[in-house]
Chains A and B, each alone.
Chain A
Amino acid sequence: MRIGVFVCHCGSNIGGTVDCAEVARIAGTFPDVVYSTDPMYTCAEPGQAAIEEAIREHSLDGVVVASCSPRMHEPTFRRTVERAGLNPYMFEMANIREHVSWIGKDIPSNTRKAAELVEMAVEKLRKDTPLTPAEFPVTRRVLVIGGGVAGIQAALDCADGGIPVVMVEREATIGGKMAKLDKTFPTVDCSACILGPKMVDVAQHPNISLYAHAEIEDVQGYVGNFTVTIRKKTTYVDWSKCTGCGTCTEKCPARHSVDAFNEGIGETSAITIAFPQAIPKKAVINRDFCRQLTKGKCGVCAKVCPTGAIRYDMEDEIVTEKVGSIIAATGYDLMDWRVYSEYGAGRYPDIITSLQYERLMNASGPTGGHIVRPSDGREPKTVVFVQCVGSRDPSVGRPYCSGFCCMYTAKQAILTKDHIPDSHSYVFYMDIRAAGKMYDEFTRRAVEEYGTEYIRGRVSQIYPDGHGQLTVMGMDTLLGRPVVLKADLVVLAVGIEAARGAKELAEKLRISYDSAGFFLESHVKLRPVETNTAGVFLAGVCQGTKDIPASVAQGSAAASKVLTLFARETLKSNPQIAKTIPGRCVGCGKCARCCPYGAIRENVANGETTVEVIETMCQGCGLCTATCPQGAIQLAHATDNQILAEVNALCQA
């Protein structure tokens, strides 16, 4: 090789405590070094030009720069040598500033250390090979899993950006939890009114294909080239014929079906349309309650349907879509609060969840928007709200805060007063988390304008008093004494967890999740919508507790990641990735098991197994290289031999 070494003075940053000329002289004695010098400022324009000149004049095929940290200027100098015609990976840096000149003042020791660091860099460079990024074609379509507000925002931004979107939503309608809300804090906007137009946009956007009442069956492939299998769950209604007129739901004789959209409050017919603004507005038969499907006797909806859309023999359908990127926006579910036996474990009908209360308040809900007690249909006059039921509670395995309950409890207290002016509301709380824009002012309004009584303490027990009310026993820690209240209705702010089935989906997508099922982002501070799996992004509560504005922001953020990914026709892979040496692989599979990205694929040919690295998925960590006992898979630019070259330069006993 013909290596050039440049030992930078960096003014007096290095030159002040390192004899750079001496380092350059010593470097000249290293094997394959044909040119060495000590410029004053290597990264400056004249410095870089001098490197390019030296490459040409001395026919260099590799360059070592001894200067500042490579985390600072490695990309700079790689571009420099590339301009002079070298492969950018035939370049190494020795950090003699942050790691030498700035941390010690003894010139002889520093000089010796700098020379050794240069020697290590030279020895590594002698083992380096040119690397070229590979390019891959990309399917410029995106899959959005989940039709809640985050998924809707992501889909609309991608679609508006020209990317065809496939949206898959598990329920019969999109809208997620936001569609179930009555009003939203802090503006008390009607939820369906602000979400509705976006839902209609999704339905009408030419770039969005919506699969509702469908789930992800399987995901194969890698970034730019995913193949997704989707199960369209049967609705028993031919949606191409259904007009959403609702006649079937009026005539259906089975009136005791569990009302999932209304969170189990009230009953509904076996054939339903979720709610008036549902998108798609189509009927679905709940097979567990349908008399035709369970007993073979009925068929009323089929008779009354004006378009003949009912099909009792319909089955699930599997479809396949090819996409280049996936956004997971699967939201949340309330945890099963019935573990709190002290609150009745679900036995008492007048202890309900916050989401059930939303449905009671909502005009499209089971009571037409009238807040009534589920037990006897009477209006409650005293409503007690209990916060942190299943949040911040390690005893039920939920140590985290659910993030929005303080805010919606204040909202629900306010709305209760609007609905029932002579009502009185109490809120048992631990802390009030109202950090967003206008949030604290909103919670103050609940207290000051609406007379909600806030009691700082937890509730130890709720039970019926035998006279139609509920006894709520709690603690007022600010006054330092127990409190006993009589409530007509108790609303629990139940903690949230990742949506049912999140873990199984995560495994299909090859992303990680935490103990509550929330999907793991790449970096909690700096990369909140990316995952460690290339091409899979996150948006909304599925990534962690957050409110609607943050979910919308993440929807847009995820969309921007997708648009960046698809900005070019092809994807370039980072060439500092792992590669197998075919003759050495014995197919033991240890590397594939350890890869954090699932980027290693086993191939069987002629009865023999070997592995292959999926270039677009490998992120270059090198865990496979450290795991392989034969050294048959090597991380480019940090191979065993390259690292050993540095070790050997230092340890020669």
Chain B
Amino acid sequence: MNCYRFLAKDALSAFLAFLAERERVLVPVEKNGARSSVVFEEWHEGLPFTMLKSTVPPKAAVLPQCEVLFTCRRVPDEGDQNRHVMVLDDTLTAQPTVIVATRPCDARGFAVLDRPYLNGLYQDPYYAARRKELTVLTLTCPTGCESCFCHWVGGGPSSPEGSDVLLTEIEGGYLCQSVTEKGRSLLERSALPDGEDRLASMQEARKKAYQSLGRAPDLKTAPQRISERFSDLDFWNRWTEACISCGACTYFCPTCYCFTITDEGDPAHAEGGRRLRSWDNCMSSLFTREASGHNPRRKKAERMRNRISHKYATYPENWGVFSCSGCGRCVSNCPTGIDIRAILLSALGKEEDMISHGTQSKETGQ
């Protein structure tokens, strides 16, 4: 049984203050620069914030860009001064956090990350601790936009996947709908008035949003068709020609979750050493370089093939759904305008609407 509350626009700050009593509250904040962008920052009284879709997805709330897995110090063995022992400290502290005004594509990102991090062979304790302490309040999208395509991959502008509460903008404010138990108890704890009487407006708004989206192609055969393309390097070369192998797609993707481990500091020093986990980028050229020096994905076409295959073939094979959430950030952020939709449609043989980057050359390229 869902719980509905109405949050008036002018009650927004008070609501955030209520949330902040117990937890860290993350809200989107607009930053000025060479162009404006929207990032999540910790809310405090008086902080100007926005409800726009964030430039940086909120995955850092569960998978920080860089986190300390443990610290270690090398201390003399009490029994034998000539020997040393390593003292490890892997205490986890996850700060209770509420993230406000994510979008359904972002929240789906949490769901995508949950599967390998929580439901795989081993549960990742760092991720699990943060995920447990995280409450997700998602703002449903009033319309689509030219770069996003959530409904292609099983999402939608009002999809509840990964969220605890959905907020839908209606006249005068937001209708809040609980999705999970956690969401329900939060809404019940809040002093917000009941919203059942505004349900019709909410549904109207959501219907309008869905209708604003274009037609979604049928991606049912995508996993199979992409796998079939594995050795078609001409295809991958053509679609990767413009790629500059940066990380604008992967780091801004709500569903990318690869990481690398590095050790910093020195256990022999007083401050000790620390093992770090930080985001890694499968599109960069050394991503798969092995200790021997051999690199199975030296060519950028191979790396693109891997990324697309992971999102649209391998992850579905393992978990039954596409890992892409259709947020479109890779499309709008790519410095050279590579459009993942075009690659997908081309793989499926459905090139009708998409521009291609030039036909393939006779010899195989990069």
Contact = CB atoms under 8 A, between A and B. Distances in A.
Interface string A574-592: 0000000011000000000
User: Chain B, interface size: which category?
Assistant: under 10
A34 B74 CA distance: 14
Contacts of A652: 271
B357 to A, nearest CB: 24
A399 interface: no
A31 B266 contact: yes
B293 interface: yes
The 10 closest A-B pairs by CB, nearest first: A31-B268, A583-B293, A31-B269, A32-B268, A31-B266, A34-B82, A31-B74, A583-B289, A652-B271, A582-B293
Which label, helix, strand, loop or mixed, suits the secondary structure of the B interface? loop
Interface string B64-84: 000000000010000000100
Interface in B279-305: 289, 293
Interface string A552-582: 0000000000000000000000000000001
A34 B268 CA distance: 13
Nearest to B82: A34
Nearest to A583: B293
Interface string A212-240: 00000000000000000000000000000
Contacts of B289: 583
Contacts of A582: 293
Contacts of A31: 74, 266, 268-269
10 contacts: A31-B74, A31-B266, A31-B268, A31-B269, A32-B268, A34-B82, A582-B293, A583-B289, A583-B293, A652-B271
Nearest to A30: B268
Contacts of B74: 31
Nearest to B269: A31
A580 to B, nearest CB: 14
Contacts of A583: 289, 293
Nearest to B81: A34
Interface string B46-75: 000000000000000000000000000010
Contacts of A32: 268
Interface string B238-270: 000000000000000000000000000010110
Among B74, B268, B289: residue with most chain A CB under 10 A? B268
A391 to B, nearest CB: 60
Contacts of B266: 31
Nearest to B267: A31
A583 B74 CA distance: 32
Nearest to A652: B271
A32 B268 CA distance: 7
A582 B271 CA distance: 34
Nearest to B266: A31
Interface string B140-165: 00000000000000000000000000
Contacts of B82: 34
Nearest to A29: B270
B29 to A, nearest CB: 28
Interface in A454-474: none
A34 B82 CA distance: 8
A32 B76 CA distance: 11
B274 to A, nearest CB: 14
Nearest to A1: B268
Among A31, A32, A582: residue with most chain B CB under 10 A? A31
Interface in A36-55: none
Contacts of B268: 31-32
A653 to B, nearest CB: 12
Contacts of B293: 582-583
Interface string A254-290: 0000000000000000000000000000000000000
A582 B292 CA distance: 12
Nearest to B293: A583
A49 to B, nearest CB: 24
A182 B293 CA distance: 71
B314 to A, nearest CB: 29
Interface string A619-653: 00000000000000000000000000000000010
Contacts of B271: 652
Contacts of B269: 31
A582 B289 CA distance: 14
Contacts of A34: 82
Nearest to B268: A31
Nearest to A649: B269
Given A31-B268, A34-B82, A583-B293, 7 more contacts: A31-B74, A31-B266, A31-B269, A32-B268, A582-B293, A583-B289, A652-B271
B71 to A, nearest CB: 16
Nearest to A31: B268
A31 B82 CA distance: 13
Nearest to A32: B268
A543 B300 CA distance: 55
A31 to B, nearest CB: 3
Nearest to A584: B286
A361 to B, nearest CB: 73
A582 B293 CA distance: 10
Nearest to A58: B82
A379 B269 CA distance: 92
Interface string B216-253: 00000000000000000000000000000000000000
A34 B266 CA distance: 17
A34 B83 CA distance: 10
A423 B254 CA distance: 104
A31 B293 CA distance: 32
